Amino acid sequence: MINDSTQGRWHVLLAQFDVICRRFNKEHVIAMVAESTAWLTSPDGVSYPPAPWRLHGTAYVSLWQVRASALPADWLPQDLRPVTMLGRVLVGTAFAVYEPSGDLAYNEVLAAVQVHGSGRPSLTVPFIWVDHPASIAGARAMWSIPKQEAAFRIRQPRDAEDPRFRASAETPDEQPIADLLFRSRTSMPGRWPVRTAIVQTSLMGSGGGDLRITPAQAWARVSFGTATWDFGRQSPFSFLRGRNPFVSVRLTEMSLHFGSS
């Protein structure tokens, strides 16, 4: 039984909702609510958030200069050309830890190559692993990013005085992918924007020329540091063994806006 007090509160709430609907157009409000809560479902039955994804967290990124002739053939589809300078290409490797305050919370390790693409700086991601099925399903379906499953071990800095971050990832059959020890050194003031486009060939196997171009924007505090990487012998990153990145950064308080609605 609904008492008079409860009924009165409902009348107040309905009246407030009616005012909002009159001000902003009822259909528009309902559409906004539905859009913010409706997840999509992959053919395998995995639900994932619609684009754009808004992610929050920390990333540890290293950049490498690699001779174009040393880049493995499976790192670049035939439809994409790397950006070269003095015969070298720019390769990035990264660990990221995304927090529950974003659309999804998960860990990630990836490699990227700078390529010719859209009007903004462009990257292609040939290899990427995460530990969340929704991240895998959504990235593959919407952006043709070939995410795979991995297991992660993450050691975050204990406090603000501890500059060390340690992370490792391995495949489901326990093959090592990558291991990182990062030590922060120097921090830059403020938060810095990074804008890029992710260019991928379609995972649907529709033939050459079918490219997916996805905008990505991030804002973060930037700290320079030293990164010690190790890669499994069977890892796609293994050709980087024995090399050193020319710059490594930590991106904290990172807000990533990925994809378009």
Q: Provide the residue type at 133 as one letter.
A: P
For each of the domains in the chain, give its residue range(s) and CATH number, in order of start: 4-37 (no CATH), 40-258 (2.40.400.10)
Alpha-helix runs per DSSP H in 111-253: 133-143
User: pLDDT digit string (tens) for 106-131?
Assistant: 999 999 999 998 778 999 999 999 99
What CA–CA distance (Å, rounded) separates 194 from 110?
17
- Residue pLDDT, tens place only, 151-186: 999 998 877 667 799 999 999 999 999 999 999 999
Residues across the chain = 261
Rounded Cα distance between 214 and 197, Å, is 5
CB 121 within 8 A of CB 199: no
pLDDT value for 35: 47
pLDDT by residue, tens only, the chain of 261 residues: 445 555 555 565 556 656 554 555 545 444 444 444 599 999 999 999 999 999 999 999 999 999 999 999 999 988 899 999 999 999 999 999 999 999 999 999 999 999 998 778 999 999 999 999 999 999 999 999 999 999 999 998 877 667 799 999 999 999 999 999 999 999 999 999 999 999 999 998 655 568 999 999 999 999 999 999 999 999 999 999 999 999 999 999 999 999 998
* Sequence-separated (6 or more) residues with CB below 8 Å from residue 11: none
Query: Cα dihedral angle (76, 79, 85, 87), rounded to 10 degrees?
Result: 60
Q: Cα separation of 101 and 84, whole Å? A: 38
Which tokens in the block code for residue 206?
């529709």
Q: How far apart are CA 34 and CA 126, in angstroms?
A: 34
Quote the pTM value: 0.84
pLDDT, position 30: 43
What is residue 82's DSSP assignment?
A: B
